[in-house]
Amino acid sequence: MDISKILSNEFSIDKKYVDNVINLLDDGNTVPFISRYRKEMTGSLDDIVLREFELRLQYLRNLEEKKQNVIRLIDEQGKLTDKLKVMILDCKTLVEIEDIYRPFKPKKRTRAIIAEEKGLKPLSEIILSGDENIDIFLESENYINLELGVKNGQDALNGAKDIIAEIISDNYDFRKFIREYIFENGILQTQGESEERTQYEIYYEYSEKLKTIPSHRILAINRGEKENVLKVKVNFEEDVIVDKIYSKMKNENKESSKIIFESIEDSLKRLIIPSVIREIRKELSEVAEDGAIIIFKENLKALLMQPPIKGKFVMAVDPGFRTGCKVCILDDMGKYLTSTAIYPNEPFKKVDESKKILKELIYDYNVNLISLGNGTASRETEEIIGEVIQEVKDEKNIDLSYVIVSEAGASVYSASELASKEYPNLDVTVRGAISIGRRLQDPLVELVKIDPKSIGVGQYQHDINSKKLEESLRTVIEDCVNSVGVDLNIATPAILSYISGINSSIAENIVKYREENGKFKNRNELLKVKRLGNKVYEQCVGFLRISDGDNGLDNTSVHPESYDATKKFLEILNLDIDELKYRGKIDNLDERLKNFNKKDILSELGIGEITLDDIIKELKKPARDPREDLPIPIFKKGVLSIEDLKEGMILTGTVRNISDFGAFVDIGVHQDGLVHKSQMSHKFVKHPLDVVKLNDVVDVKVIDIDIERNRISLTMKI
């Protein structure tokens, strides 16, 4: 199997680039490094394609290894033929290989094996041969053996049928036909096992074609079945399958054919159908899991890549009822300044006192923005904050806004070992409030501290393979962190551990070195960090920034391997490299470039055009943050409730979550509204992710309000 050729065809990539990527991955290079610093070798493949490429490469290698193992195992049995070997080598999936290997696979003591031990295999062969001159019933009496437990001719025939049933079950062509037929024609049917109202009510009497059922329904049905609320079965025309197999196996001997027919029915009922249905449902579940993981990944990426809100002193409020609202103040760099608690809600209702405390904090610390968690008591606390904003404007003409921030995972972080190290002297509730504030100031830096499964950006996470989900989400965080880069002198171990080539222990060593030796002055100092060798240095260094170091290039994404070429390039243009250190950027690059032939420059520098273009971008705007181009959160000043809504009202909202069937939009009434995918565009929408992503700011119109069930239906077709 030519894996390189297969990948080239599947990804529509030139074979030389495919070979280069394979070699780069095999040499231990990370996807972020390859994507950013080996563009000439890959044809500028981005991290998303490279991740898919890496997974597919692993699958194909596993497939090839499986083929060779199966060929070896069959050959060791002395049963390998040229035809069988070709069939195995032509397999495109692991399932196909398993089907071919099934007859040769060591089995437990099945009914067929027991029948063979009783000496009944020759009888089964006679039945299958269909010799018209043989009376099967008389022949069966020749196999009576009381010592082996064959009491009469019928016992012998029953044993022969068991052998034939297993032969049918092990037949590659039959299993392939049955699997394809059931998938194409099967109906998944669910029945409620409970009389109580549950979240699975819509599936109490439900059916849909296997091949068209959406992924989110598969996962929901699986969960309902696991919780013993739903009974699930697959219906199909079994007679079609029986007739198809019988037409291939019947022979001239009528009695033999009758026995074969009975064997087919037994094989289907006892051996094939349960197995094939399990395989189909497993495959559907895996596809559904992959779809759910894609949504998780897209949502997580959008959440992590929210633009940071810089240069603002933030008041963070973690709302609550009986325990009060925890309030903390963070400076414009996210440093914790002070905290307190207020009790404006039930059962205390200390509204005036709470407003007084909030206003004093706003005045004393020059608060620019309020970050309010969206958990328990958020709506009630939001009303108080709305009043405070109006009062500080009336009293001191301070223009203040607030943002509703998801507090998913804040409690997980606040009780973590990491939070204990960061704030050893603070209560866990205060740490939670700090997290709520900081995830507004710099979402990426704060959210990488939390298990991504706890951030609340997908559905059915408990129905998905935990390891598979965890690995997929980690790659998203890695790609986000590396695309932004981190400041080496302020980065925490949590975010450093996601940098290309760096693991958690090396991240800890970097921070320890910084604590013992002071700030890093240049990137080369990294080589003094314990366990950070040349390979790790190569992989990580381009993503680590030093803003006030010895070398201006250390504050760019230019890799040290290109420093000499960069300096030579600036010398050719008669520009001073020190401008980077003292001015933060190189001016007049475009103007100077007009006087030079780019091809001549490339020839002199000995680098590729893509690399030079990247260097030029960095010199003009060093350490550019890709998050700057994305929409910032909506700053709010007033409060609406669901009772204030009217059908036809047009509002601006923020996409808070995305599922297979639609998007949930925060329109400022505490309860997110649903835009079903049918309401997203006048054109057909296959999936919501084709239209929106997490944190998109969208205009919506209210089309239905159900106050009793607290549901809001919205449309984007305005």
pLDDT in tens, 65-99: 999 999 999 999 999 999 999 999 999 999 999 99
Model confidence band, residue 651 (pLDDT cutoffs 50, 70, 90): confident
Give the whole-angstrom CA distance, residue 463 versus residue 288: 10
User: Per-residue confidence at 317, pLDDT binned at 50, 70, 90?
Assistant: very high
* pLDDT at site 460: 65
Total of domains in the chain: 4
**Is 520 a domain residue?**
yes
- The mean pLDDT of the chain is 92
* Pair 324, 456 in one domain: yes
- Sequence-distant (6+) residues with CB within 8 A of 122 are 143
Average pLDDT over residues 236-246: 96
Q: Which residues 6+ apart lie within 8 Å of 678 measured at CB? A: 685
Phi/psi for 401 (5° steps) reads -130, 170
Least Cα distance to 17 among 37, 49, 42, 40 occurs for 42
- Region of poorest pLDDT, from 122-131, 273-282, 463-472: 463-472
Residue 252 lies inside a defined structural domain of this protein: no
> If you compute the radius of gyration of the chain from its CA atoms, what whole number of angstroms results?
33
**What per-residue confidence (pLDDT) applies to 657?**
86
Considering the domain architecture, whether residues 468 and 491 belong to the same structural domain is answered as no
Q: Which band of pLDDT confidence, cut at 50, 70 and 90, is reported for residue 459?
A: low
Strand ranges of the sheet holding 187-192, from the earlier edge strand across to the other edge: 205-209, 187-192, 230-235
Rounded to an integer, the average pLDDT of 622-641 is 74
In-domain check, residue 287: no
Residue 677 maps to which CATH number?
A: 2.40.50.140
Domain range spanning residue 80? 3-104
- Does residue 532 have a pLDDT over 70? yes
| pLDDT confidence of residue 624 | 80
What is the CATH classification number for the domain harbouring 389? 3.30.420.140
Q: Specify whether 536 is located in the same domain as 396.
A: no
What does pTM read for this prediction?
0.82
Q: Note whether 437 and 398 are same-domain residues.
A: yes
What CATH number is given to the structural domain containing 555?
1.10.150.310
Q: What average pLDDT does range 156-165 have in this prediction?
A: 97
CB 323 within 8 A of CB 375: no
Tell me, what's the pLDDT at 598? 85
Res 592: pLDDT: 81
Each residue's pLDDT tens digit, 97-110: 999 999 999 888 89
Asked if residue 550 and residue 660 are part of one domain, the reply reads: no
Stretch 646-672: mean pLDDT: 86
Same domain (yes/no): 346, 388: yes
pLDDT grade for 581, boundaries at 50, 70 and 90: low
Predicted confidence band at 480 (pLDDT cuts at 50, 70, 90)? very high
Let me know if residue 192 belongs to a domain.
no
Cα 502 to the center of its chain, rounded Å: 21
What's the gap between Cα 70 and its chain centre? 32
Q: How far apart are CA 130 and CA 116, in angstroms?
A: 20
Residue 434 sits in the same domain as residue 464 = yes
Mean pLDDT of all residues in 11-21: 97
Residue 717 has pLDDT above 80, yes or no: yes
**Do 40 and 610 form a contact (C-beta atoms < 8 A)?**
yes
Measure the CA–CA gap between 344 and 241, rounded to whole angstroms.
69
Instruction: Among 599, 628, 657, identify where a domain stops.
Output: 628
User: Do 331 and 449 share a domain, yes or no?
Assistant: yes
Mean pLDDT over 458-483 rounds to 85
- Phi, psi (deg, nearest 5) at residue 296: -55, -50
338 and 441 assigned to the same domain: yes
Q: Is residue 611 part of a domain?
A: yes
Q: Are 547 and 585 in contact (CB under 8 A)?
A: no
Residues 6+ apart with CB under 8 A from 108: none
Residue 634 above 80 pLDDT? no
Q: Check if the beta carbon of residue 80 is closer than 8 Å to that of residue 86.
A: no
Count of helix runs (H) and strand runs (E) in the chain: 31, 15
Which pLDDT does position 226 carry in this prediction?
Answer: 92
Choose the final residue of a domain: 104, 139, 171.
104
Say how many residues make up the chain: 718
The C-alpha atoms of residue 553 and residue 700 are separated, in whole angstroms, by 46
pLDDT exceeds 70 at position 239: yes
pLDDT (mean) for 381-409? 91
pLDDT in tens, 501-524: 999 999 999 999 999 999 999 999
What CATH number is attached to the domain comprising 58? 1.10.10.650
Domain boundary residue among 474, 508, 537?
A: 474
Residue 517 lies in a domain: yes
Render pLDDT for 589-599 as a digit per residue (tens, 0 to 9): 888 888 888 88
Decide if 286 is inside a domain.
no
Q: Which of 163-177, 492-506, 637-651 has the lowest mean pLDDT?
A: 637-651
| Residue 35 · residue 47 · CB < 8 Å | yes
* Assigned domain for 184 exists: no
pLDDT tier, 216 (very low <50, low <70, confident <90, very high otherwise): confident
pLDDT confidence of residue 45: 96
Torsion angle of C-alpha atoms 534, 539, 542, 548, degrees rounded to 10? -50
Pairing between strand 711-715 and 673-676?
parallel
Q: What is the mean pLDDT of residues 416-438?
A: 93
> Span 361-368, mean pLDDT?
96
* Same-domain check for residues 575 and 545: yes
pLDDT of residue 578: 79
Is there a single domain that holds both residue 469 and residue 323?
Answer: yes
Residues 649, 534, single domain; the answer is no
Residue 709's Cβ-count burial label (10 Å; 0-12, 13-18, 19+) is: exposed
- Report how far residue 301's alpha carbon sits from residue 296's, in angstroms, rounded to the nearest whole number: 8
Q: Which residues of 642-654 are buried (b: 16+ CB within 10 A; e: fewer)?
A: beebeeeeebebb
List b or e across 191-218, with b for residues whose CB sees 16 or more CB atoms inside 10 angstroms.
Answer: ebeeeeeeebeebbebebebeebebbbb
Is it the case that residue 12 has pLDDT exceeding 80? Answer: yes
